[in-house]
Amino acid sequence: MIRLIEDNDPSAFEMLKLLYPYAGQAFIIGITGSPGVGKSTLIDALITQFRKRDMKIAVIAVDPTSPFSGGAILGDRLRMQRHATDEKVFIRSMASRGQKGGLSRATKDTAVVLSAMGYDIIIIETVGAGQAEFDISFLAHSIGIVSIPGTGDGIQAVKAGILEIGDIFIVNKSDRPDAETSVLELKMMLNMRRPTTCAQTSTLSPNWTPRVLKTIAQNGTGVKELADTFLSHFDFMKQNGSIVQKKIELEHLYFNSLIKDLTMEKILLFIKNSNDFKDALNKIESGSMDPITCAENVVNNLKVTCKQ
Ligand SMILES: Nc1nc2c(ncn2[C@@H]2O[C@H](COP(=O)(O)OP(=O)(O)OP(=O)(O)O)[C@@H](O)[C@H]2O)c(=O)[nH]1
Ligand SMILES: [Mg+2]
């Protein structure tokens, strides 16, 4: 099913419609941070913690940065290898391969499949956040931002708007010096963060105070607390009802991205079947008009009528 999604197979669309009513129970966690901060190692350790609670875990490792990212993806798989034989753990990597609607849609569709399959927790690993191409806050219920000590990541986070979307901030590699300074720095910046309400396009639940935790992913230090904190964030959202709001918000975003994709597909098909388009191709081929003017003419001549 996931392969069909990746291959833009039309049958995937039909199957997603059937699966959709069964999706929606899973808790979706986004783990994001700069390259190499230890996200995959941390997820590997988190899987161990969630498995102790007998939960079924799925991981989608997303690499939006490059279509030639075989290496990074291999790294992600390798770090989580020890769970490969556990039938209640599923790990999948996704790279940009020109999916319809981009990687966000493909990842969302994959999360629908995994949720319908009864995975309790779906973890999405992604490099960076707040990027135009892939925004984790469109997909996850709870977001963990991973940084490491002494890299000035905190300042970067403010610049990238990451502070606004994080629910849990993780200072990994805290076996390195200055971990405590990074924790304090993050806490200070979070104190200055503007309060956000659920109605805004943010993953912040009302009144949830973002947590800052230290971990050493390599030996599992602090990861039990991290797993507990993610689960308590989920409980918190369930108890105050904000999870319902959050899910509606995410559904709207999914709906909007579908509208965008389907509209684009329909219009492109219409254009490609038009005489204007064929004429323009001939003009480009004969060299009588440049492609820029041709494209402009085709689109300017477009008349869209909607059935009311
Ligand atoms: N010292 C130390 N090293 C760590 C820790 N956690 C991870 N590492 C190491 O950091 C390196 C990168 O770890 P990954 O888990 O691949 O990091 P990542 O963020 O998933 O990397 P990308 O997916 O490539 O962005 C590996 O060599 C890990 O062994 C830690 O807590 N302390
Ligand atoms: Mg990784």
Ligand 1 atom nearest residue 37's Cα: 19
The answer to whether the beta carbons of residues 38 and 144 sit under 8 Å apart is: no
The ligand with the least distance to the CA atom of 144 is 1
Q: Is the CB of 216 under 6 A from ligand 1?
A: yes
Backbone angles phi, psi at 141, to 5 degrees: -85, -30
pLDDT value of position 202: 47
Q: Is the CB of 164 under 6 A from ligand 1?
A: no
Q: pLDDT tens across 149-208, in order? A: 987 666 666 666 778 889 999 999 999 999 999 999 989 888 887 655 444 444 544 579
Domain-located, residue 88: yes
What range does the domain containing 30 cover? Answer: 2-240
Q: pLDDT tens across 95-117, in order? A: 755 555 567 788 999 999 999 99
Ligand 1 atom nearest residue 215's Cα: 31
CA–centroid distance, residue 306 to ligand 2 (Å): 45
What CA–CA distance (Å, rounded) separates 268 from 278?
A: 13
Domain-located, residue 53: yes
Higher pLDDT residue, 138 or 11? Answer: 11
Domain-located, residue 281: no
Which CATH number fits the domain that encloses residue 103? Answer: 3.40.50.300
Q: Is the CB of 39 under 6 A from ligand 1?
A: yes
Number of domains comprising the chain: 1
Helix spans in 101-241 (H):
102-116, 153-160, 162-165, 179-191, 223-239
For residue 201, how many other CB atoms are within 10 A of its CB?
13
Q: pLDDT tens across 221-249, in order? A: 999 999 999 999 999 999 999 999 999 99
Q: Is the CB of 214 under 6 A from ligand 1?
A: no
Q: Which residues are placed with Cβ below 5 angstroms of ligand 2, an ion?
A: 39-40, 76
Concatenate the DSSP letters of all residues of 180-193 into one string: HHHHHHHHHHHHTS
Q: DSSP letter for 148, please.
A: -
CA–centroid distance, residue 35 to ligand 2 (Å): 7
